[in-house]
Structure 1
Amino acid sequence: MSPMPPPIAEFWQAYVASTAGVDESRFYEAFYFADSEALADSLAALVLSGTKRATASAFWTFEAQGRRAPVPGDLSVVTNWAGVPQCVIETVAVDRVPFNQVSAEFAATEGEGDGSLTYWREAHEQFFQRECALHGRAFTEDQLLACERFKVVYRSSPLKDPS
């Protein structure tokens, strides 16, 4: 595991201390969602509220960054744009799905916008076009995505019982 910035390391250690022997090698990454401050902060808030329980990434980005795609059991620290830790999530499933075959159910689980597949496709096509352009690639409707489902396992304030 590479060194973490102090706020993230402290948050991670608080999580580890709160669990009964979590295997620290399950740490995957610390990250924020999206590519702008407003979006990153709003998506982190959706995760904390329980609305956002999934995310999608272009598979080629993992190779370009020299790292593996997430797998079930991975633990990640979600931050806001400023790098302030918000929660720890656990990856529960990752499916390889072409962009044009993402389901309405997955779009709703991502919890963004109005939760519709139409909104998901429009917003994510714009995001993936920006991401591809930054790396000299072209977005295609059949590009493979890592459709990751996750659950919040820790936050600095107690989790609310959904019942």
Structure 2
Amino acid sequence: MADALLALVLEGKKTATCWAAVQGLKGSELGARYVVLDGAAKPRAVIESTELVQRRFDEVDPTFAAEEGEGDLSRAHWATVHEDCFTREGTYAPDMLLWCERFRLVEIIGEGADQ
């Protein structure tokens, strides 16, 4: 899954992510830059956090869902995939709080980077 999500970031299709607020900020901070690893734990990109807000699961709007870049980009697809994920984690509730983060791609590292 890491490689599939990384590919979406590198293509510019994925510019947002979210996680259960009960997990804390997980080191995220507005304006911070992060190295994104591939499935083999190799650095592949640098992203910068451009927005970091809390939002309830049932309040995630279609724009944010599309910015996550997955599937058909619909809110319905986003909800199904994320409900499944959060259920596996044991954190799902329709009104659960999420950290919703938007980011921008700063640099591609390694294969695919401009030389």
TM score, norm. by length of structure 1: 0.65
Cα distance in 2, alignment partners of residues 69 and 158 from structure 1 = 29
Corresponding residue number in structure 1 for 2:2: 40
Q: Are residue 58 (structure 1) and residue 36 (structure 2) matched?
A: no
Any stretches of 5+ residues in structure 2 without a counterpart? none
Q: Please give the residue correspondences for 1:62-141 in structure 2 after superposition, counting only pairs within 5 Å.
A: 62=24, 70-132=28-90, 138-141=91-94
Pairwise CA RMSD: 1.6
Determine which structure has more spread, i.e. the larger CA radius of gyration. Answer: 1
CA contact (8 A) 1:58 1:146 kept: yes
Cα deviation, 1:120-161, whole Å, max 9, x if unaligned, reads: 0000011111122xxxxx4211111011000011112129xx
CA contact (8 A) 1:53 1:151 kept: yes
Any stretches of 5+ residues in structure 1 without a counterpart? 1-38, 133-137
TM score, norm. by length of structure 2: 0.90
Cα distance in 2, alignment partners of residues 88 and 103 from structure 1 = 26
Cα distance in 2, alignment partners of residues 122 and 68 from structure 1 = 23
Aligned residues: 112
Q: Are residue 147 (structure 1) and residue 100 (structure 2) matched?
A: yes
Give 3-state SS (helix, strand or coil) of 2:66's partner: helix
Kindly indicate which of the two structures has a greater share of residues assigned to helix. Answer: 1
Q: Return structure 1 stretches of 4+ with deviation > 3 angstroms.
A: none
**Relative contact order (C-alpha < 8 Å, sep 6+): which is higher?**
2
- Sequence identity, in percent? 40
Cα deviation, 1:66-107, whole Å, max 9, x if unaligned, reads: x65522111111111210111010000011100011000000
Cα distance in 2, alignment partners of residues 79 and 68 from structure 1 = 16
Cα distance in 1, alignment partners of residues 22 and 114 from structure 2 = 36
Cα distance in 1, alignment partners of residues 36 and 26 from structure 2 = 18
